[in-house]
Amino acid sequence: MARKANRPVDHDSPEMTARDFAAAKRLREDMPEVVEAFKRGRGRPKIERPKTRVSLRLDPDVVAAYKATGKGWQKRINETLARALVRNRTKRHRATP
């Protein structure tokens, strides 16, 4: 393919010739770790137990109190509910004959 006369030449990355293509190595063979990184995909790794999105209606004073504690207030609500769940299981287990 002929180069257009008005197109600037990029000396940092010149066009590859047939000889360049013949001498090129396969990425898969030369850098397998890069190929594996591409296979993993983008973003964070998947976690074992992802959280479930729910819609929950709470009293405004409860939400205000947690929000007043700063960033991470939703996580703190989750921790509070988890502790209550453990306490309730323990109470039920002791109450059962």
| pLDDT mean over 1-27 | 78
Q: Is 19 helix (H, G, I), strand (E, B) or coil?
A: helix
Does residue 65 lie in a domain region? yes
Does residue 69 lie in a domain region? yes
Instruction: With a cut of 60, say whether residue 1 has pLDDT above it.
Output: no
30-70: pLDDT as tens digits: 888 888 888 777 778 788 999 899 999 999 999 999 999 99
Does residue 9 lie in a domain region? no
Does residue 18 lie in a domain region? no
Does residue 5 lie in a domain region? no
Q: Is 38 helix (H, G, I), strand (E, B) or coil?
A: helix
Instruction: With a cut of 70, say whether residue 15 has pLDDT above it.
Output: yes
Domain residues for 89?
60-95
Specify the pLDDT at position 4: 58
Does residue 66 lie in a domain region? yes
Q: How sure is the predictor about 11, in pLDDT bands with cuts at 50, 70 and 90?
A: confident
Does residue 45 lie in a domain region? no
Q: Tell me the whole-structure pTM to 2 decimals.
A: 0.49
% the chain with pLDDT above 90: 40
Tally of domains within the chain: 1
Q: Is 93 helix (H, G, I), strand (E, B) or coil?
A: helix
Amino acid 63 reads V
Of residues 53, 62, 64, the one with CA closest to residue 80:
62
